[in-house]
Structures are given as C-alpha cells and as structure tokens.
Chains A and B, each alone.
Chain A
Amino acid sequence: MGKIVAVHSYKGGTGKTLLSINLAATLAKHGKKVCLFDLDFRAPSLATLLKIDKADYWLNDYLNGVCEINKVLIDMSNRINDSGSLCVGLANPSTEAIRDMSAKDRKWEMRALGRLLALRASLLNEKHYDYLVFDTSPGLQYSSINAIVSADLVLVATTFDRSDVDGTKRMLRELYDLFEKKTEIVLNKVLDGSLKSDKDEAKNRLKDVYQVPLLGIVPCFCDVLKAEGGLIFAQDKPGHPFTKIIEEMTGKIENLG
C-alpha cells in the first residue's frame, strides 16, 4: 500500500520545494512509482522549476471538479534514468488562478479535502503508486492543512531562524498533534560551523525542542543556491553531498513502514 508524504513548514523559504522535488526524484530512482504535487496555489513553483510551460489541466481543475486526476498528471519519467516513474501534478501559476484559489470558501475547501483524500483510492489503490509527495504552502492555511490531513507522513522543513523555531514548535503542538500525524523534522540551511562544533548535541537539542523525530540535517550548500533551482540534484548531481543527504533521508522514509 502506497503512502502520501506532505512537505510543510511554518515559514516560507525553508526549502520545501527543493526537498519535495529531490525526495520524489530519489524515490523514483529507487524504482518507485511516484507522483509529485504542487499544492502551493498561492505561489506555484514546480511548473517553472521543472520547465513546463503549459498543461492541459492543472491541479486547480481537479480540485474544482472540472476533470479527473489522470488528466492533470504529466509524465516526467524521462528526467529519471532509472526503473521508477515520476509524474507531476502542477498548480496553475497564472495570476488569475492564484486570485481564484485565494477566494475559495469553506465549502469549497471541504470538497477539496474530499478530492485530496480520494487520491488514495484513485492513485495509491487503483494505479498502484508507491508515493504521492505533496509540496505545500507554508503556515496554517486551508490548502496546506488539507494536505496534512490527507497525508500519512508530514515532513516539516525548518531552519535555525528563531521565529521559524518558535512557529514550528507551536504548529507541531497545535496542528499536527491534534490530527495525530506522523511527523519528521528536516533541519535545512545549517551553516557548516554549527555542524562541525557538535552534530550530536545539535540533534539532541532539536529533539528536545520539537519532541518529534529528526529525519535529517541539511547544510547550506552554495552549489544549491548557484543552481538557481535549475537542477534536480538527486538526478543531475549524483555524487554531490546534498544528494547523499537526500538519499539517506529517502532511505529512512522507505523504512518507516
């Protein structure tokens, strides 16, 4: 039985999309059937990062009840040189679509939750996908909470920024705990100096602060910034230390059961 993994964070710019793309690509490289979804309807980014200009149908259309999910999926398996398969479902990046999605009411959001929950039957059970990866929008808003409620596992990307630490702590207690979600923390953008001083101490401190398991620590890599989002490191830079860390985290996710 496949799994839904949502990647979320309290603040923006914590590396959710980078993590989502590379996690999905690594799972596909491991031979898994994977689908990556852009659920950040207020600031869509996957279409740009994956260099897809046009789509016949967007994820917005699926949630609006205009089409079924198979119309939305775009096969990206040619970007992965291994046996697995990778599809994406994109959020419409046009200003009109962003405005439309920002103006939805509670009843629409309730139906959207139903359609997200239905992906378990249509993609995991019927189409035998191994993983659906949801890249969400930051903070506590409808689209991201819908994604969290639908997921089996939530990865929370966080940094050492104080406001992020505080907000993430609150979010873990007041959101994830209430929904009884299996949660793992990914500490991103850690400066080399803080890692060298004492990695184990940093890990223990994180566990104390957040009270949830730590999936991994990702240092701040200049190469990642220099790539300007144009590379899928897991595919394009197989020997890079960033790719190795993503590999490790993916392995842990696969073993979570």
Chain B
Amino acid sequence: MAKEEVAGKKSVQVLEKIREHLEKLNEKIEIMIELQKHDRKDVQPTFTDAPLDVMTLLSMPDHLRKTAMTVCRLGRATADEVAEQTKRARAVESAYLNQLVIMGHLKKERNGRKAYFFVDRENQER
C-alpha cells in the first residue's frame, strides 16, 4: 500500500513536470508565432538586462509599450492581470510579455502554475 502511494506521488510529480514543460513550450511557440506574424525586426533578443527606462519605453513599438507600461504600473503581474488592464487577449499579452523578457526588459518568475512578470529595478547591475 505504502509502495503504491509512493509510486502514485511520483507519477503526479512526473505529470506536473510534463505540464510545466508543456506550458514553457507553449509560451515559446506563442512568441515565435508573434514574431513571425509581425516579422518584427525591432524585437531583437538580447538575453541580458536592458533597463526599462522612460526613453526605452518611448522608443518601443506601441503594442509592447502598452504592455510594458502596464507592468510598470502594476509592479508585478500575470498575463491575465495585464490583459485585464489593456483589454487585450491573454494569449496576446502572454506573447508580448515574453518578448519583453527576451529583450531583457522584464524578468519572469514562476510561483506554482502562475508566471509573474516584473521590472527588476533593484537587482540590475549598478
């Protein structure tokens, strides 16, 4: 009985891991679709910290500025919370938020099933 319970728990853990990986894959696909759709040459992946200052906000394409401004205002937010403010679809905001992460302007943190996006102001290299 105890062995069965342990095996059951392990299966759940494996399934959880698979679900997490699938979600990550899904986000990456969303980004790729978005990038292809707009053929965005202005969204260059940097993978490094890029300060989200007001001049950067000003030079962003309109659709990304709206998302970035909303995260600035909310401090820390999920794609759902951003979508609620911008009145755009969650999937669209999720793609824009992940673009901003790739560009180095936002940081992403997972807490259970939820992914939170935020501007990492204090920990950026001084």
Chain A: residues with CB nearer than 8 A to chain B? 106-107, 109-111, 113-114, 117, 121, 142, 145-146, 149, 175, 178-180
B108 beta carbon closer than 8 Å to chain A: no
CA–CA, A142 and B53, complex, Å: 9
B126 beta carbon closer than 8 Å to chain A: yes
B37 beta carbon closer than 8 Å to chain A: no
Asked whether, in the complex, the Cβ of A142 is within 8 Å of the Cβ of B69, the reply is no
Give chain A residues whose Cβ lies under 8 Å from the Cβ of B124. Answer: 107, 110-111
Give chain B residues whose Cβ lies under 8 Å from the Cβ of A179. Answer: 57, 65, 69
With contacts A111-B121, A111-B122 taken as known, whether A106 is within 8 angstroms of B65 at the C-beta atoms is no
With contacts A107-B124, A107-B125, A178-B65 taken as known, whether A142 is within 8 angstroms of B72 at the C-beta atoms is no
CB distance from A1 to the nearest CB of B (A): 13
Determine which residue in A109, A146, A175, A178 has the highest number of CB atoms from chain B within 10 A of its CB, and name it: A178
CB distance from A203 to the nearest CB of B (A): 31
Total B residues in contact with A, Cβ cutoff 8 Å: 21
B54 beta carbon closer than 8 Å to chain A: yes
Give chain A residues whose Cβ lies under 8 Å from the Cβ of B121. Answer: 110-111, 113-114
B75 beta carbon closer than 8 Å to chain A: yes
Query: Which residue on chain B has the smallest CB distance to residue A175?
Result: B58
CA–CA, A7 and B69, complex, Å: 20
Asked whether, in the complex, the Cβ of A117 is within 8 Å of the Cβ of B75, the reply is yes
- Contact string against A for B residues 101-126, beta-carbon threshold 8 Å, 1 for contact and 0 otherwise: 00000000000000000010110111
Give chain A residues whose Cβ lies under 8 Å from the Cβ of B72. Answer: 113, 117, 149
Query: Which residue on chain A has the smallest CB distance to residue B75?
Result: A117
CB distance from B69 to the nearest CB of A (A): 7
With contacts A149-B72, A179-B69 taken as known, whether A110 is within 8 angstroms of B58 at the C-beta atoms is no
CB distance from A41 to the nearest CB of B (A): 15
CA–CA, A64 and B53, complex, Å: 15
B92 beta carbon closer than 8 Å to chain A: no
10 contacts between A and B (CB under 8 A): A109-B54, A110-B51, A113-B53, A114-B122, A117-B75, A121-B75, A142-B53, A145-B58, A149-B54, A149-B72
CA–CA, A142 and B52, complex, Å: 12
Give chain A residues whose Cβ lies under 8 Å from the Cβ of B57. Answer: 149, 179
Given A107-B125, A113-B121, A142-B53, 16 additional A-B pairs, CB 8 A: A106-B53, A106-B56, A107-B126, A110-B51, A110-B124, A111-B124, A113-B72, A114-B119, A114-B121, A117-B75, A145-B54, A145-B55, A178-B58, A179-B57, A179-B65, A180-B66
